Amino acid sequence: MGASAKGGGPYFHTMQEKGLGTFAVFMTAISTILGAILFLRFGFAVAHVGLMWTMAIIVLGHLVTIPTALAVAEIATNQKVEGGGAYYMISRSFGLSIGGAIGIALFLSQAISVAFYIIAFTVSTRDLLTWLEVGHGILLEPWMVNYGFMSLLTLLMLTKGAQVGVKALYGVVAVLVVALVSFFAGTGEPQAQLDILRTIDSTLITGDGRTIERYTFIEVFTFIFPAFTGIAAGLGLSGDLKEPARAIPKGTLWATVAGIVVYICVALKFWVSASPEQLASDELFMESIAIWPPLIPMGLAAAAISSALGSVIIAPRTLQALALDRIFPKPIGLQLRKGRKSDNEPVIASIVTCIIGFIFVSLGDINAVAEIISMFFMVTYGAICLVSLFEHFAASPGYRPTFRSHWLLSLVGAVTCFYLMFLMNFSYALGSLIIMGAIYAGLSRRGERGMVALFRGMLFQLSRQLQLILQRRDTAELDRKDWRPMVLAVSKDTFRRLGAFDMVRWIAHRQGFGTYVHLIEGRLDARSFRSSLRAKQGLADLAKALKSRVSTSTIVSPSYTSAIAQCVQLPGISGQGNNAILLEYIDEQPESAEQLVANYDLLRGSNLDLCLLRSSFRGFGERRTIHIWITPEDSANANLMILMAYVIQGHRDWRDSNIQVYSIYRDGDRTKKEAALQALIQAGRIPVSEQNIEMVEEMPGDVREELIDARSKFADLTFIGFNDADIRREGVKLFEAHHGIGNILFVDAHDEVALD
């Protein structure tokens, strides 16, 4: 198996090759958590912001790291975790585009961390450098130690690799623990004034003449935050772990808990054992407190070495994983993904990591490097929390972690990360997000769909919840008082004329919902089903071309009647039932009109408003004039027709249109009907001016259809009402009576709609 496995690719390991476990994750994480910052900056924090705010920094840091640790544990137990650690998890949840952008930031933070810990190591050698200069006349500048140790670390990684690095961790962590025990066992200088808010003055002059300015809370937090980044250290071993889904959660969580306890104890020890002035004057004042001072620089050296080892082990693996996912241009990616034949050690990626280390070692300022590291890690941790948060809300059946965090914790972690980024350094935060956005834009051309699928799942869940809420409401009475269109259209002539489809998208474009069903008459079998799929794709293309917000579907049914009966029983996409149905026909093909008449009782029994669009060869003309005809028998239809006309006029296709209302009256009814109509329109706030309301007298012997045809022959859309009595009396002739005018929408309201 070993030979064949190795042939499967440069990052494919056998179970024998992946020999590390939970303890390796714990050691890698704890060596960073209990790292150089603990020695160099916790006393510094107590001096500059006091004990209470130092504790606040610990709490705030863990508001970031605990949600991230839990999210990491959750994501790690949901998928097969390969090499690349945090990058692998993010990219497989968010997709390679955004995963690559975050992965590059993560790699840089890991690589720069190497320089950070080397500078910290140099601080631990100050007594040794003094001894060499005073006792032996050998002058070594700090930068020489920086470059020397960086060179040694580079040589170690290129010759020995991760397995030796992890073994070395055990020894340095042991020294680290002994140093901390020495510190806690010491008494220091017990303080008589134990004030949790006590700090140095805004400006402190030290005994050797140095001037120290007191830092603010957020500045101190920025310098200390790298101490909290140890939770990500163990993730980078994912490609070398035997059971990453088990080792990563357990090792990371245990290291986080241990770190919290030690942080609190160290801060308390500094507070009771030294004054703020002492702590501010000497960044390694731990020596003066410890029971045996030499153990403190030894512990700092061990912490710096272990953290530097952890970072230099992880960073090349992140870079190699990025290259394996083809994030970089091909010539660069081919080099970076290469591994040593014997153990797949990422040699080229290690060289790149060490070069970056050399560059940032040149800065020599531990605070400046800490600020850069903090920014990169904040982005990474915020992204991990977002992955967990989005996965909770997407509720995908494929997301089945064996360990579950709570979505609220992930939300707190994400918000805290991004808020602190801008608080720490607005320019850095904005710049880092812009750079990552540019990287993402470049990578997104590859067409990866990971994040799209995640957001689609979230929208699905939101839509599902809203639909359930709407369905549970008892809106039988409310619908007529707060009417909004929920229109169902059924047509078998979709691809011959667009009248019905256009009408539905105009009525339902903003205030309501529209469902358009294309009818395929026949028996449902393999052939008709394939036809329905082709028609559904055609509808989708049509909706996209017209920028429609209408839900489209198809139905295979043996008859128009059965299709209507099936469709009216289905709920609309709003989560509620439809309240109107629209059918359409032309004079040459009157089947839909005949079907409406034949199925009138069925449709009325469904409590639907009935609409029949009679399309003409003129279509909708220039979409400038809408006529509404209100007859003495239209008491129930008038309001619905006015509302529909108002909704249609709100669509961009009809933005230049005017609504003209005609009210037919008989002798003696004019004043009463005109006042009632004007009051109705005014109360309903419908944009119809008085000059657009015309009263039309119907004299004995007049033919109503002729009155309508004469005034509406140039209208682009005409509304005409009908009712049960008209259907019983005239049947299909009712819809065939008008001649010489454009499209007509016949409307029969199930019940009166309120305008006010």
What pLDDT band is residue 94 in, cutting at 50, 70 and 90? low
What pLDDT band is residue 85 in, cutting at 50, 70 and 90? low
Please say if the pLDDT value at position 478 is more than 50.
no
How large is the average pLDDT for residues 684-713?
83
Which position has the higher pLDDT, 576 or 502?
Answer: 502
Per-range mean pLDDT, top range of 56-60, 242-246, 396-400: 56-60
How large is the average pLDDT for residues 391-420?
80
Residues 6 or more apart whose CB falls under 8 angstroms from that of 264 comprise 55, 58
How large is the average pLDDT for residues 68-91?
70
Q: Whole-number mean pLDDT of the chain? A: 80
CA distance 126 to 139: 12
Residues 6 or more apart whose CB falls under 8 angstroms from that of 434 comprise none
Topology, domain 478-748:
Rossmann fold (3.40.50)
Please say if the pLDDT value at position 510 is more than 60.
yes
Kindly tell me the burial class for residue 469, based on how many C-beta atoms sit within 10 Å of its own C-beta (0-12, 13-18, 19 or more). Answer: exposed
580 within 8 A of 479, measured Cβ to Cβ: no
pLDDT over 70 for what percent of the chain? Answer: 83
Which position has the higher pLDDT, 335 or 687?
Answer: 335
How large is the average pLDDT for residues 368-373?
83
What pLDDT band is residue 399 in, cutting at 50, 70 and 90? low
Structural Rg of the chain based on CA atoms: 38
* Beta strands 609-615 and 743-748, pairing class: antiparallel
How large is the average pLDDT for residues 235-261?
75
How large is the average pLDDT for residues 636-661?
89
Domain ranges of the chain: 14-364, 478-748
How large is the average pLDDT for residues 689-702?
84
pLDDT for residue 120: 85
pLDDT digits (tens, 9 = 90+) for 422-459: 898 888 888 877 877 777 777 766 655 555 566 666 66
How large is the average pLDDT for residues 684-705?
80
3-class state of residue 449 by DSSP: coil
748 within 8 A of 721, measured Cβ to Cβ: yes
CA distance 417 to 412: 8
Please say if the pLDDT value at position 613 is more than 60.
yes
pLDDT for residue 565: 87
Query: Cα–Cα–Cα angle for 223, 224, 226, nearest 5°?
Result: 95
pLDDT for residue 747: 94
How large is the average pLDDT for residues 83-103?
72
Residues 6 or more apart whose CB falls under 8 angstroms from that of 720 comprise 629, 708, 738, 744, 745, 746, 747
Partners of 203 in beta bridges: 213
What pLDDT band is residue 54 in, cutting at 50, 70 and 90? very high
3-class state of residue 570 by DSSP: coil
Partners of 555 in beta bridges: 519
pLDDT for residue 1: 34
How large is the average pLDDT for residues 93-119?
81
pLDDT for residue 227: 83
Please say if the pLDDT value at position 124 is more than 90.
no
Please say if the pLDDT value at position 18 is more than 60.
no
CATH label, 14-364, candidates 3.40.980.10, 2.40.40.20, 1.10.357.10, 1.20.1740.10: 1.20.1740.10
Please say if the pLDDT value at position 6 is more than 50.
no
pLDDT for residue 693: 85
pLDDT digits (tens, 9 = 90+) for 519-570: 998 888 888 889 989 998 998 888 888 888 788 889 999 888 888 888 888 7
Please say if the pLDDT value at position 232 is more than 90.
no
pLDDT over 90 for what percent of the chain? Answer: 16
pLDDT digits (tens, 9 = 90+) for 195-221: 899 999 888 887 777 888 899 999 999
Pick the range with the lowest mean pLDDT from 48-62, 277-291, 392-406: 392-406
3-class state of residue 743 by DSSP: strand
Please say if the pLDDT value at position 412 is more than 60.
yes
Q: Which backbone phi and psi does 342 adopt, to 5 degrees? A: -75, -40
Amino acid 413 reads G
pLDDT for residue 450: 52
Pick the range with the lowest mean pLDDT from 51-55, 222-226, 328-332, 451-455: 451-455
How large is the average pLDDT for residues 610-614?
91
* Beta strands 717-721 and 211-213, pairing class: unpaired
**Of 564, 576, 658, which Cα lies nearest the Cα of 610?**
564
pLDDT for residue 673: 80
